[in-house]
Amino acid sequence: MPAWSTRKADASDRARLQSLLMDSCAEAAIPSSRRLDTAVARGLVRVAETDGVLTGCLVAEAPSEGHVRLSVIAVHPARRRRGVAAQLLADAVRDFSGRQSEPPLISVLADPRDTALSRLFLSCGFLGTRLMRTGGSEEDVRIHYQHKPRIAYVDPDARHLVPVEDREQLAESLAPSDHAVTALLPLGGGSAFEVARFEQDDPATLQSGEAAAGIAFAGSILAAITFLLGFAFSSTRFPDDVRLLLIGATFSTVLSLIVYASASGELARIRSNSFGKVMKWGNVLSEYGGVLPFLISLPVTYAQASGNLWTTMVLAVALSAAIAWYERSEFSIAHRFRRSLAERALTVLTAASPAVGAGLVAADATSWPWTTVLVLTLAARTWLYLFHRGSEADIAERRQWRIGQSPG
C-alpha cells in the first residue's frame, strides 16, 4: 500500500500548492496565480499527500465542456519514482471521465526528449497522435497525447520504431490519422517510439449493420407473435387476458420496427449523433414489449394445446430458468445498466412469470392478476431503461481502452 493518497485540491491547499510547484517545476511551467485559482475552483487540480504534506499535484484546464488539457504534473524531488505521478494521472482521468455521460477528450503535450514523461502517459492509456509545433524554433515541438477511453485495435504487422531524436521521421510517421505512438522502447543504447497503425472501422457501416440486424430480428419476432396470436383467437379456451398480452406485444414490436427504421433514417441523413439513443428505444421496446411477452406466453399456449399439467409445468419451469439465466448474462439489456434492489425484484418477477402463468392456466384458475402483474412489471422495466437510465454507451466497461490484435 502506498504511504500517500490523492484527492481534489481545495482553497486551503493554495499556499502549499504554490510551494510544491516552485520546488518541483521549471519557472516557465508554473501556472499563473489566476489560472491556478480558477483550476482549484473548478475541481481541476488533484494533489497527492503524505501525512498532511503535499508530495505531488496535477493541474488541468477545461477549454471546452468536452475537452480537458493537463497542464502540469509535478512531484516533489524527494518523492519521485514511487508511483505518485501515475496514481495522480489515473485518479484524475477517472474523475474527469466520470463527471459527464460522455467521457471528455483528455489531452496533454510532452517534449519528445522527456522520455520519462512520455513513458508515464503511455503506461496510463494515452496515445501520441501527432507532433505539434509550439514555437518558432525547430526545437519547440511537442507530442500531443490523448487518453483513449474506447476499445481500439492495432494491426500487429504495421508497427515501426522511430528514434526519439528523429523528429522529422516522427512527424512523418504520425501524419496519417490512423497512426499513433503506442510505446517507448529501448533501441541501440537509446530510446525509440513505437508507432502503430490502428484499424479504423467505418461507424456508418457498423451502425447500418446494427440497424439492419434490429429490423430483421424485430420482423422475425413479429411473425412469431402473429402466428401465436392467430392460434389464440382460434382457441375457445385461450384466456382473454393472454390474448390482450399478445396484442400488446404485437403493438410494441411494430413500434420497435418503426424505431429501427428511424435509426436507418438517421444514417441516411448523416445524423448519427442520435443513433445510439434511437437504437436504445428499439432494443428496449423489442425485448420488454415483444420478446419476453412472446416467450412467457409459450407455456400458456402449450397448456391449451396439450392439456397435460406435468409436461406444461416442466416446460414452464425450464423457460423460467432460461429467462433467469439470460437476465444475469452479459447478453441482456439489464446487464448494460446498474441494477438497483427494485430492479432485481422486477427481474425475479419476470423470470417467474412463465411458471406462474402456465400453472394458473393449466389449473383453470383466474389468470387476470398474473397478467396484470406481468404487464406492470414489463412496463416498469421499459420505463426504467428508457427514462431513468443513461444511454447504453455510458457503461464504464465499454469506455475502457486497450490495444489488442484484431480478431481473425
Question: Whose grid coordinates read 488539457?
Answer: 69
Q: Which of 198, 221, 239 is the last residue of a domain?
A: 198
Total domains, the chain: 2
Residue 218 lies in a domain: yes
Q: Are 381 and 288 in contact (CB under 8 A)?
A: yes
Taking the C-alpha atoms of residue 289 and residue 277, their distance in angstroms, rounded to an integer, is 18
Q: What is the mean pLDDT of residues 305-333?
A: 87
Average pLDDT score over residue span 170-187: 92
Eight-class DSSP state of 3: S
If you write DSSP's letter for every residue of 97-110 in order, what string do you get?
Answer: HTTSSSPPEEEEEE
- Among residues of the chain, what percentage have pLDDT more than 70? 88
What is the band of 401 on the pLDDT scale with cuts at 50, 70, 90?
A: very low
The answer as to whether 115 is a domain residue is yes
Q: What is the mean pLDDT of the chain?
A: 84
pTM for this predicted structure:
0.58
Q: Give the pLDDT band (50/70/90) at residue 174.
A: very high
pLDDT grade for 70, boundaries at 50, 70 and 90: very high
Element housing 56 (H / E): strand 53-64
189 and 209 belong to one structural domain: no
Same domain, 213 and 189: no
Q: Is the pLDDT of residue 357 over 80?
A: yes
From 140, 170, 198, the end of a domain falls on 198
* Range from 52-61, 195-204, 295-304 carrying the lowest mean pLDDT: 195-204
The residue from 171, 198, 225 where one domain ends is 198
Cβ atoms of 164 and 142 closer than 8 Å: no
Residue 352 lies in a domain: yes
Nearest Cα to Cα of residue 299 among 288, 285, 310, 313: 313
HSE (side-chain half, CA atoms, 13 Å) at 111:
9
Inform me whether the pLDDT recorded for 50 exceeds 90.
Answer: no
Mean pLDDT of 320-343: 84
pLDDT-based confidence at residue 204 (cuts at 50, 70, 90):
low
Give yes or no: residues 295 and 170 share one domain: no
Instruction: Please tell me what DSSP assigns to residue 153.
Output: E
Residue 221, amino acid = I
Residue 150 sits in a domain whose CATH number is 3.40.630.30
Domain extent, residue 382, equals: 203-397
C-alpha–C-alpha distance, residues 142 and 171, integer Å: 10
Give the per-residue pLDDT at 294. Answer: 92
Reported as a single tens digit per residue, the pLDDT across 93-120 is: 999 988 777 788 999 999 999 999 999 9
Q: 192 and 217, same structural domain?
A: no
In a domain, 259, yes or no: yes
Could you tell me if residue 88 is inside a domain? Answer: yes
Phi, psi of 82 (to 5 degrees): -125, 10
Q: Is residue 62 located within the same domain as residue 161? A: yes
The pLDDT score that the predictor gives to residue 399 is 33
The answer to whether position 403 is within a domain reads no
Q: What is the pLDDT of residues 120-168, one digit of tens each?
A: 999 998 999 999 988 767 678 999 999 987 767 787 788 999 999 998 9
- Whether 285 maps to a domain, the answer reads yes
